[in-house]
């Protein structure tokens, strides 16, 4: 770990911190309450599992740093950003959790192909080509591997 953490922050996994996975650019007034919510079980444990499996797995696959745009959201923050009540960002299910990520210097559709081609299990992967990010959720064990391209036509490998 070469990055110095802010006071109160801690590592969830080798490359991803608690603050990174619980931030909100759009609603900074709710960040403190969001972090308080996620500092307790079962949510903290679910963030750790998601970070270790999903985020570290993607980082290894793309062989580059992964930026978390959005991770865990407590219900009030989820509502403020327009999230649905069943959002995986709530980490409300034992096998739930989702992240919105980007990889600097790599086309997001190429990142999606690498994730899919490598065989990392996920529940949903929504690839936002124009907005340059991927929404990816932890696998649930049923109906996994859903892929969509909401802002563009899906390439042949994703159909």
Q: Supply the CATH number for residue 143's domain.
A: 3.30.1380.10
Output the tens digit of pLDDT for each of the chain's 159 residues: 457 899 999 999 999 999 999 999 999 999 999 999 999 999 999 999 999 999 999 999 999 999 999 999 999 999 999 999 999 999 999 888 999 999 999 999 999 999 999 989 999 999 999 999 999 999 998 899 999 999 999 999 998
How far from 87 is each of 60, 78, 81, 98, 117, CA to CA, in Å?
26, 8, 11, 8, 26
Count Cβ atoms within 10 A of the Cβ of residue 15 and give its class: 0-12 exposed, 13-18 middle, 19 or more buried.
Answer: middle
Instruction: Give the structural domain span for 54.
Output: 18-151
In a domain, 6, yes or no: no
pTM metric for this prediction: 0.94
In a domain, 9, yes or no: no
Number of domains the chain is built from: 1
């Amino acid at each position: 770990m070469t990055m110095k953490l802010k006071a109160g922050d801690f590592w969830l996994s080798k490359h991803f911190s608690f603050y990174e996975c619980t931030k909100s650019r759009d609603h900074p007034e709710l960040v403190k309450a969001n972090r308080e919510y996620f500092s307790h079980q079962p949510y903290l444990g679910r963030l750790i599992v998601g970070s270790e499996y999903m985020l570290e797995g993607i980082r290894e696959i793309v062989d580059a740093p992964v930026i978390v745009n959005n991770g865990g959201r407590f219900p009030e923050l989820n509502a403020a950003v327009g999230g649905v009540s069943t959002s995986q960002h709530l980490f409300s299910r034992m096998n739930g959790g989702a992240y919105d990520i980007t990889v600097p210097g790599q086309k997001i559709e190429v990142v999606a192909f690498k994730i899919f081609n490598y065989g990392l299990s996920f529940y949903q992967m929504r690839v936002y080509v124009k907005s340059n990010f991927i929404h990816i959720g932890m696998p649930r064990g049923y109906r996994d591997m859903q892929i969509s391209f909401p802002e563009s036509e899906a390439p042949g490998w994703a159909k």
